[in-house]
Structure 1
């Protein structure tokens, strides 16, 4: 879990999701706000940890260019590990996720073709009052809506989107 709690490493995982295989150069282009050395270093860390694996090589201008893909079972934090995380680890995970989200959104906006209206970009917050049972039903409904789409990989007419549902109580009902 600790290894994935870094914004650049999270962005590498996002870039390789959906069964994609990308070269380190392609990752550098995707994460252009980080230096090449930074991206290469984080790719190496993820490979050493078994989260990424080499998926191929090709010669480009006399150099060997390696392509990488996610090792699916290793690229996710298990529910069991999340449940055993300390409050400080949850703080670190949330901060890393928000930093990665902010960097991904900034990268989107930096693209001259960015059009938040056309792309139906959304970043709304809704305060909802829920019993525990209503909260559980909401989460189950969100899962039912999202999970069928998680297996979609890159393909004709598909654009990768980042969906980041966040739910936490802002008040506690006692009793």
Structure 2
């Protein structure tokens, strides 16, 4: 489901809630344990905004002592290209990328700190820089996506834990600037 409203998701707490619900189902009580610095009344308020915007949905419900407990999960976070080309959309998209990437990096840092060691066999934090044409880059991107989509279909099993890989790929501005300056100097 494409994201229709950057203003809803481009909020530090709502982004953290969205990412906590990415690929898992959590109740408000479970979410409060994952985000202990966010008061429960704030969680309820942000959950309702995310629900109203269609960014998350109720995955299932159960009765606990006669009270309905709802479990939430994130909807696929695709960006609607039409949103990017609206007035102010490009800036909101840039804010979204910045906030999303920062949130993912913070989650990795929190994991490392909680464990007390970097656990290098269970994390991936690498930056690869390479030359590629648009077509070559598209091929690499699609191969990675295809492999990850295959991994997403694997069911839970002994020794399998839910993992996240966040991939960002773009031309390097600094390299473009240097190469442009060198070309103009010739």
Q: In structure 1, the residue corresponding to 2:51 is in which secondary structure?
A: helix
CA distance in 2, matches of 1:8, 1:91: 18
Contact 1:7–1:99 (Cα < 8 Å) also in 2: no
Counterpart selection for 2:18 from 13, 16, 21: 13
**Structure 2 CA distance for aligned equivalents of residues 135 and 40 of structure 1:** 42
Q: CA deviation at 1:91?
A: 1.4
- Name the CA distance, whole Å, in 2 between partners of 1:119 and 1:144: 23
Contact residue 32 and residue 43 of structure 2 kept, 8 A? yes
Instruction: Report deviation, 1:92.
Output: 0.7
2:104 matched to which residue of 1? 101
- Give secondary structure in 2 for the equivalent of 1:34: coil
Which structure has more relative contact order (CA 8 Å, sep 6+)? It is 1
Q: Distance in 2 between matches of 1:161 and 1:83?
A: 29
The separation in 2 between residues aligned to 1:7 and 1:31, in whole angstroms, is: 12
Q: TM-score, normalised by structure 1?
A: 0.75
Alignment of 1:43-82 (within 5 A): 43-54=47-58, 55-59=60-64, 65-70=69-74, 72=75, 75-78=76-79, 80-81=81-82
Higher-Rg member (1/2): 2
> Cα gap change, 1:48/1:104 in structure 2, threshold over 3 Å: closer, same or farther?
same
Instruction: Note if contact 2:84-2:90 (Cα within 8 Å) is conserved in structure 1.
Output: no
- What is the aligned length? 169
Q: Structure 2 regions of 5+ residues with no counterpart? A: 181-186
Cα displacement (A) at 1:43: 1.2
1:31 matched to 2:35? The reply is: yes
* CA distance in structure 2 between the aligned counterparts of 1:81 and 1:152, rounded to whole angstroms: 33
Distance 1:105 1:116 in 2: 10
Distance in 1 (CA, whole Å) between partners of 2:72 and 2:42 is 16
- The match for 1:89 is 92
- Correspondence for 2:184: none
Listed as ranges, the matches of 1:123-142 within 5 Å are 123-142=125-144
Partner of 1:144: 146
Could you tell me how far apart the structure 1 residues matched to 2:9 and 2:116 are? Answer: 28
The structure-2 alpha-carbon separation of the partners of 1:77 and 1:160, relative to structure 1 and needing over 3 Å to count, comes to: same
CA contact (8 A) 1:53 1:68 kept: yes
> CA separation in 1, counterparts of 2:154 and 2:72?
19
Compute the displacement of 1:90 (Å): 2.6
Unaligned stretches of 5+ in structure 1?
none
